[in-house]
Amino acid sequence: MDQSRLTLESFAALVLRAGLSLSPSQMKELHEAYGHVAAMAERVRGTPSLTEESAMIFVPHSTTR
């Protein structure tokens, strides 16, 4: 898996946006692991139809009974 998708500086921006405070060693380790997770996120990204949505649905009877 490509671990070089995001520079450490860009990853630090993600950490900041998430509101997290990480130690330098934690930042380095999580940045390395992020490459694997980013590759997984990329793998599940498809090109969904705008008119056919089969997964993200809401079933009202399950909340009103």
Partner 1 sequence: MLTIAKAGALIAQRKLSPVELVQSHLDRIDRLEDKLHAFVKVTRESALEEAKRVEAEIMANGPKGPLHGIPIAHKDIYSTKGVPTTAHSKLLARHVPDADAVTVSRLAAAGAVTLGKLATHEFAWGGPSFDLPWPPARNPWNPEHFTGGSSSGTGAAVAAGLILGGTGSDTGGSIRLPAAFCGVAGFKPTYGLCPRTGILPLANSLDHAGPLAWTVEDCAILLHAMAGHDASDPASADVAIPNFRAALSPSLKGLRIGFVRHFHERDYLLDETMKKALEVAAGVFRGLGCELRDVELPPLQDWTACGMIIMLSEAYGVHEEWLKSHPQDYGEIFRDRVLMGAFLSAADYVHAQRKRRELCAALARVFEEVDLLVCAITPGGAPPIEEVTKMSSFERPSFAFPFNVAGAPALTLRAGFNEAGLPLGVQIAGRPFADEMVLRAGHQYERATNWAQMRPRLDGLA
List residues binding partner 1 (CB under 8 A). 11, 14-15, 18-22, 26, 29-30, 32-34, 36-41, 43-46, 48, 53-56, 62
The least CB distance from residue 18 to partner 1, in Å, is: 4
Token pair 């990853």 is found at 11
Q: What is the DSSP letter of 39?
A: H
The least CB distance from residue 51 to partner 1, in Å, is: 14
The least CB distance from residue 50 to partner 1, in Å, is: 13
Radius of gyration of the chain (CA): 18
Contact 12, 26 (CB under 8 A): no
